[in-house]
Structure 1
Amino acid sequence: MPSIRHEIPLQLLRNRAEVAPRIARTVGLSVPDLPCWRPGPETVTLLSPGELHLDIVLIGTDTEKPEFAIIHEVQNSCGTSELERISLSWPAYVTHVRQRLGCSVVLLAFCPDEPTARKVATPVETGHPDFVFRPRTYWPGMLPAITTVAEADQWPELALLSAPGHLEDAERHKVLSMALEAMQKLEPDWRVHYHDYISRCVPARYRKEWEELVAMAIENYHWESDFAHEHQAIGRAEGLAGSVLRILERRGLAVDDAVRTRIAGCSDLDQLTAWLDRALVVESAERVFDGDAGMQDGSP
């Protein structure tokens, strides 16, 4: 099953196809300035039985006829088996989409970091003279940091795609703030997933900063949809979990990975409140779970 770190970048492109040519130009590809971009087919039927399954194709048109196409893949790993699959499938993606649409085609791959992007970009020798396929890749740090409200409002998709690549920058606080700003400009039904995506990308050392920004956003923003209840619950759960852990640590109690994972992964507000009360008095971090019989925290 595709992970959220695979699906969210694709959803952002489906949401607004003109983001793809903007990214392509940012990373050095020559893409014509066309007035209309739209999602294209994500499967290509072969002459023999079978289909090629692409992540997403964005088609640029000047009239009704396709003028340029960008195949956009999300590639989060670069193991030997993945590189072998890429070497066989990606050249076929380009040639078959070009045949189907009758226009120029480029393939661009989004990777989580620079080392992965460099490996995935390894040239593919097809065996035909002078036919070497060179995947074009990028990672969040190649995109410019979005640090102003004007930028986040105009290009919310880029604010979310670029944020993970700028969390070590001096402007990290602005980058995270603008990621939250961007979420308010995107479709409400996906906001919880966007929040989850950014949360998974934030290193543990900056998690408290992110949680505090989320709490402030929830407190200061007037939510207009049913998303409010779920988003507020996420923020309250994260805040309570962080408080439980901070109390245990401030009391000098050792918190191992198993305890930290169970507390941080809990979304039951009643359960977290009970742990918070116990954290003030227990003699060891593990004892915070004493008395949990019958309470559902989603932990094994």
Structure 2
Amino acid sequence: MIAAQLVPSPVGPLALLAREGVLVAAGFTAEPKEMFARLTPALQAEGLEIVDDLGAASEAALAYLAGDLDALDAVPVSQPGSPTRRRLHAALREVKAGTTVSYAELAERAGLPKTAARAAGSACAQNLIAPFVPCHRVLPSGGGYGGYYYGVPVKNGCSLTNAEVSSTLRKGRVAFGNVLRMVTIEHEYLLELVTNNPAMVRDLLVGSGLPIPAFDSAELGSGDFNDRRPTEYRADAVVVFKKRNKPVQAVVVEVQRKPDKGKTWSWPVYLSTLRASRKCPVKLIVYCENDATARYCATPIDMGHPGWILKPIVVDPSKVPKITDLREAIDNPELTALSVIVHGKSDTPEGKQVVETFKQAAVERPKGRPDYADLVAVLRRDFDFTRSLEEARMPVTVEQLEEVPYVRRWIELGEVKGEARGEARGEARGEARGEARGGAKAVIKILHERGISISPEDEERIRSCTDHEMVENWISKALKIHNVDELFD
């Protein structure tokens, strides 16, 4: 019988499933049956029983959540997997609380080459026993949190709870003791994008049909408009456009998720104070996600003086551009993120294209540039989103092809695993040719799966290649190219 218990945690219930004192599943869900459904048929045949106390496993979980960061290490665990995956899961348990590793580093710790990062990512994605097998301690080498089966906020929560990340990914997320608190991300996401790229405010103004003077730079300004008054006045964000280092336009950016009568008094204060301090024209942009709030915020504010009427510039989803051009998406990641957040939920062809453009740009964007995949995943409630992006970014080698679902059947048929048999017989040359042939089939299959047309001549060129290194390079390219000509460049 599989025994299950729910343990409360700061990021939601933690379900523990054990068999004869050995943990066989654990995860952040309020439904132990969800974890039970992921077990092997043999274990499921034993049945599931909800208990009040699992003993050592639940005691360790409670101690861990109370601050004893090593409490999980001694709990025995068991989960299925290939020998490679078992080595990776064992290596995961050696990653100590307070430290993190990249996928390539995890592969190396498991005795695999660093190029096995994809296999390491797959092992994390298939991990059944979180956080006892701590896949949340594996982070992308390029920054951010990467994907997580139970969602990015839970991964963030694990990291903060265990003092494993010294700084947070974005403002508005702070840890108090062991409890993660988040400022409403629906309010913060536009402000984060504007903070990282103030010039994107120009695009919002243009989308509203409003001109903006020529400028050399855009920078954040102070949103504090107290001006020695006892009442606190603070805007969400301020952007100042400059030409030759002189302000030519200042913009107050406000995010409104519901009508607020008090804003009719504070917004004029923001603008008048900003105009006096910067000595340049000022504008007010109010971003609203729903029509009712947009209509309310668009109501002109009569200041009482003849002709002095403030008309807020309301930006609703219809005024956010749909980014479907790959070059534009790569060059302007902040506006692209806003585009997919706003329009990517649509099931229309254009909405789907916005999503695909964002994904492709995230994969092809130069290293070191943000892609906001984590932010988009949280707002879309789609955590496979970041996982699929992370896997797409990883280099692919023939050794990792067994982790690709539509290549798995070749392995089972022995078309790729013949490499290992060839090595055992000392047939090194035959091994290389066999590996290249298996890789060539993978290249062709990947191109077909991605909808890239391939001529019979090009297909024969790929199939006949016996250069393992060339085929391995083609595999990596096949995941990213737009046409078959790029494969041979």
TM-score normalised according to structure 1 size: 0.63
Match in the other structure for 2:242: 61
Give 1:4 deviation, angstroms.
Answer: 0.4
Match in the other structure for 1:170: 349
- Which of the residues 191, 206, 220 maps onto 1:25? 206
Q: Report SS of the residue matched to 1:49.
A: coil
Map Cα deviations across residues 145-190 of structure 1 (whole Å, 9 max, x no partner): 1123212101211112122443333222221223334556586696
- The separation in 2 between residues aligned to 1:173 and 1:12, in whole angstroms, is 22
Higher helix share: 1
Structure 1 212/3 Cα, relative in aligned 2: closer, same or farther at 3 Å? closer
Match in the other structure for 1:220: 392
Structure 2 letter corresponding to 1:217: L
Alignment of 1:266-285 (within 5 A): none
Structure 1 14/214 Cα, relative in aligned 2: closer, same or farther at 3 Å? closer
Match in the other structure for 1:192: 374
State how many pairs are aligned. Answer: 209
Structure 1 183/55 Cα, relative in aligned 2: closer, same or farther at 3 Å? farther
- The separation in 2 between residues aligned to 1:98 and 1:128, in whole angstroms, is 18
Map Cα deviations across residues 84-115 of structure 1 (whole Å, 9 max, x no partner): 11111111111111011111000001111333
Match in the other structure for 2:287: 110
- Which of the residues 182, 185, 189 maps onto 1:4? 185
- The separation in 2 between residues aligned to 1:134 and 1:97, in whole angstroms, is 16
Give 1:15 deviation, angstroms.
Answer: 0.5
- The separation in 2 between residues aligned to 1:133 and 1:92, in whole angstroms, is 11
Match in the other structure for 2:162: none
Structure 2 letter corresponding to 1:176: V
* Contact 1:121/1:136, CA 8 A, preserved across alignment: yes
Q: Which moved more, 1:121-130 or 1:211-220?
A: 211-220
Match in the other structure for 2:306: 129
Q: Report SS of the residue matched to 1:115.
A: helix
* Contact 2:362/2:371, CA 8 A, preserved across alignment: no
Give 1:212 deviation, angstroms.
Answer: 5.9
Structure 1 letter corresponding to 2:255: V
Structure 1 letter corresponding to 2:359: L
* Contact 2:275/2:281, CA 8 A, preserved across alignment: yes
Q: Report SS of the residue matched to 1:34.
A: coil
Whether 2:44 is the aligned partner of 1:44: answer no
- The separation in 2 between residues aligned to 1:107 and 1:7, in whole angstroms, is 18
* Contact 1:18/1:37, CA 8 A, preserved across alignment: yes
Map Cα deviations across residues 188-215 of structure 1 (whole Å, 9 max, x no partner): 6965334212x14xxxxxxxxx566555
- The separation in 1 between residues aligned to 2:358 and 2:262, in whole angstroms, is 33
- The separation in 2 between residues aligned to 1:120 and 1:183, in whole angstroms, is 34
Q: Root-mean-square deviation (CA), in Å?
A: 2.5
Structure 1 4/183 Cα, relative in aligned 2: closer, same or farther at 3 Å? farther
* Contact 1:183/1:194, CA 8 A, preserved across alignment: no
* Contact 2:333/2:372, CA 8 A, preserved across alignment: no
Give 1:49 deviation, angstroms.
Answer: 3.2
- The separation in 2 between residues aligned to 1:73 and 1:11, in whole angstroms, is 12
- The separation in 1 between residues aligned to 2:268 and 2:323, in whole angstroms, is 33
- The separation in 2 between residues aligned to 1:171 and 1:12, in whole angstroms, is 23
Match in the other structure for 2:72: none
* Contact 2:362/2:373, CA 8 A, preserved across alignment: yes
* Contact 2:322/2:339, CA 8 A, preserved across alignment: yes
Q: Report SS of the residue matched to 1:171.
A: helix
Whether 2:195 is the aligned partner of 1:14: answer yes
- Decide which structure has the larger Cα Rg and report it: 2
- The separation in 2 between residues aligned to 1:121 and 1:96, in whole angstroms, is 21
Q: Report SS of the residue matched to 1:73.
A: strand
* Contact 1:140/1:164, CA 8 A, preserved across alignment: no
Identity across aligned pairs (percent)? 28
Structure 1 157/60 Cα, relative in aligned 2: closer, same or farther at 3 Å? same
Give 1:126 deviation, angstroms.
Answer: 2.0
Unaligned runs of 5+ in 1: 201-209, 224-300
Q: Which moved more, 1:63-72 or 1:89-98?
A: 63-72
- Which of the residues 314, 320, 324 maps onto 1:143? 320
Match in the other structure for 1:95: 272
Structure 1 letter corresponding to 2:250: A
- The separation in 2 between residues aligned to 1:214 and 1:123, in whole angstroms, is 42
* Contact 1:148/1:174, CA 8 A, preserved across alignment: no
- The separation in 2 between residues aligned to 1:7 and 1:128, in whole angstroms, is 35
- The separation in 2 between residues aligned to 1:2 and 1:215, in whole angstroms, is 24
- The separation in 2 between residues aligned to 1:72 and 1:93, in whole angstroms, is 10
Structure 1 33/45 Cα, relative in aligned 2: closer, same or farther at 3 Å? same
Structure 2 letter corresponding to 1:196: V
Give 1:50 deviation, angstroms.
Answer: 4.2
